[in-house]
Structure 1
Amino acid sequence: MVQETDETMGSIAEAVEWGRAGRTGPARERLTELWAVIGPTGDPFHRCTLAHYLADLQDDPAEELRWDLRALEAAEALTDERAQRHHAGLAVAAFRPSLQLNLAEDYRKLGRPDQARRHLALARESLPVLSDDPYGRMIRDAVERLGATLAATDPAS
């Protein structure tokens, strides 16, 4: 399958790199500008990717949660066929562990442990779709770390 040229994904990737290089303000501004163009009903692949990365650039945990919820909502509208137009190996089911993990962490930061545990359970349920590769191991390890953190704050869990 020939991968399509996608200028929007190129712009998202560029802004993500800015954020990784420590230029979080400009990265956040650029992704916010792109969201205004894509909109809440635009291409679900663009929305999911953008919201996922924009969440990580937020200083306010409530704003981080808002963007992570948008990423999950977009993933629910996303098809494997659309994701594979970007990269042949992508499967939407493999996005879910990370998306649920992010929501669990957001709720933990906001002092909402019951919701954190609920999303952590959803992340755990979706782990079998991940490969045994560096990405899969990273997500599995993060799920276990967050589980331990939540258990330490509430031994009854």
Structure 2
Amino acid sequence: MHDQQTSPDPVMETITRAVGQWQESGDSASARERLLTLWAEIGVTGDAFHRCILAHYLADLYDDPAEALIWDIRALDAADAVPAQGVGGVQHGFNIASFRPSLYLNIADNLRQLGSFTAAVAHLDAATHDMHLLAEDAYGGLIRDGMKQVGQAITRGDCSRLGQSPASDSR
């Protein structure tokens, strides 16, 4: 058995710093600016894992559901492009497949806020289909609770913001 050194990932470090500063200060504009600069550096053909995580956080930095939807779709598209490396598609110590329910949930919630209930239900169904990928932990519980909240809001025909992103504990 040999020890495998993990080299620092400067892209993930930049994302983590920007998101951490946003969570501490509440300054979404500065965090968005830093992450948009990073997005421009990576480009639309850059590393799919990085694009997925970056787009996911950028979506959280927009209050407008149409703008958030654009970034959530980019995150899902990038997740689909992440190569299945290692066991279960684990890359950078993260299983991208287990992230899919969250991505679908966020898209469903944005569509719901925009009044597109049929499309929102389709994405909530896609999240439900991938629920088996979630662990029985706090994150899995967060996503399951978010799905319940968004589903109930769809049933009520409610387009209002639910307070925080249903799949994020970052707001």
Q: TM-score of the superposition, structure 1-length normalised?
A: 0.91
The answer to whether the 8 A contact 2:15-2:54 is kept is: yes
1:3, distance to aligned residue in structure 2 (A): 2.9
Q: Equivalents in 2 of 1:47, 1:105: separation in Å?
A: 21
1:59 positional shift:
2.6
CA contact (8 A) 2:108 2:120 kept: yes
1:20 is matched with which residue? 23
Structure 1 CA distance for aligned equivalents of residues 106 and 40 of structure 2: 23
Among 65, 76, 92, the alignment partner of 1:86 is 92
Please tell me the root mean square deviation across aligned C-alpha atoms, in Å. Answer: 1.6
Give the letter aligned to residue 4 of structure 1: S
Q: Give unmatched runs, 5+ long, in structure 1.
A: none
CA deviation digits over 1:21-78, x for unaligned, max 9? 2011100000000000001110001100000000010132111010001000000001
Equivalent residue of 2:154, what SS?
helix
Instruction: Give the conservation status (yes or no) of the 8 Å contact 2:90–2:96.
Output: no
Work out the percentage of aligned pairs sharing the same amino acid.
Answer: 47
Q: Post-superposition shift, 1:85? A: 4.3
Q: Please tell me the residue identity of whatever aligns with 1:122.
A: A
Q: Judge conservation of contact 1:4–1:86 (CA < 8 Å) in 2.
A: no
Aligned to 2:163: none
Query: What is the TM-score when the length of structure 2 is the normalising length?
Result: 0.84
Partner of 2:70: 66
AA of the residue aligned to 1:133: D
* Alpha-carbon distance in structure 1 between the residues aligned to 2:7 and 2:137: 26
Shift of 1:2: 3.9
Deviation string for 1:80-102 (max 9, x for gaps)? Answer: 42864411xx2221011000000
What's 2:13 paired with? 10
More helix, by proportion: 1
The total of aligned residue pairs comes to 152
Q: 3-state SS of the aligned residue for 2:85?
A: helix
Aligned partner of 2:105 in structure 1 is 101
2 CA distance for matches of 1:2 and 1:123? 35
Structure 2 gaps of 5+ residues are: 159-171
User: SS of the counterpart of 1:124?
Assistant: helix
2:45 maps to 1:31: no
